[in-house]
Amino acid sequence: MNAVAEAPIETAAPLMPLRRTQRTARPAQRIVLTGFMGSGKSTVGRLLAESLGWDFLDLDDVIAERTGMTIPQIFTERGEAAFRREETAALAAVLGRTRVVLALGGGAPETLGNRLLLEQTPATAVVYLEAAFRTLAERCALQALDPAATARPNFADATLAEQRFRMRHPLYARLATARVDTTALEAQEAAQAVRRSVPGLSR
């Protein structure tokens, strides 16, 4: 029997997520923005990173860079399940970074492994950017008019998108250490609201 097989089972790292208070007990080293498509994660995240003097990362960009494919290409050529596997690998790869604002893709919290990664990484604030579905749909429709914008395969059908929104809302809410309602906020106001929602950041 080799040493790994003989190791007592108690030495395995516990898979219990850290409680919310434990997760924010230390000043945040990374701020993760979560929320549905159109919630402003990338726009707000960039502004927030700028105001903190931190780096900004968009998880979709990390995936595109790692795979050499665009997000719609991955969905079309390899399917959503393959996209989700790339998403988890990309998240694990970037969570070691410090002084970083990370915008997740809207579907990242659907994967249990992603939620555990986020909950178990200390000094990680997760902020849910909330808005009503109608507002999110309007923002996505506006963004889709921009020829430079990346298409959103999971917003192609508004009815299915609304079902996904209803299914995901409790996941976003449970994962978050703070929530910011962005419905009536400009991007810069939302960035400042996120900043205020994270304890222990120097002003």
By CB under 6 A, name the binding residues for ligand S3P: 37, 41, 60, 71, 105-107, 152-154
Cα separations in angstroms, 50 against 29, 31, 148, 200: 15, 13, 22, 18
Q: Which of 47, 40, 50 is nearest to 185 (CA)?
A: 40
Taking the C-alpha atoms of residue 57 and residue 101, their distance in angstroms, rounded to an integer, is 6
Identify which of residues 171 and 185 has a Cβ nearer to ligand S3P in the complex: 171
Q: Find the shortest distance in angstroms from Cβ 146 to ligand S3P.
A: 13
Identify which of residues 24 and 60 has a Cβ nearer to ligand S3P in the complex: 60
Q: Find the shortest distance in angstroms from Cβ 14 to ligand S3P.
A: 30
SS (H, E, C) 142-185: HHHCCCCCCCCHHHCCHHHHHHHHHHHHHHHHHHCCEEEECCCC
Beta-strand relationship, 100-103 and 30-34: parallel
Residue nearest to ligand S3P (CB): 105
Q: Find the shortest distance in angstroms from Cβ 114 to ligand S3P.
A: 11
Identify which of residues 107 and 195 has a Cβ nearer to ligand S3P in the complex: 107
Q: Find the shortest distance in angstroms from Cβ 6 to ligand S3P.
A: 42
Identify which of residues 37 and 198 has a Cβ nearer to ligand S3P in the complex: 37
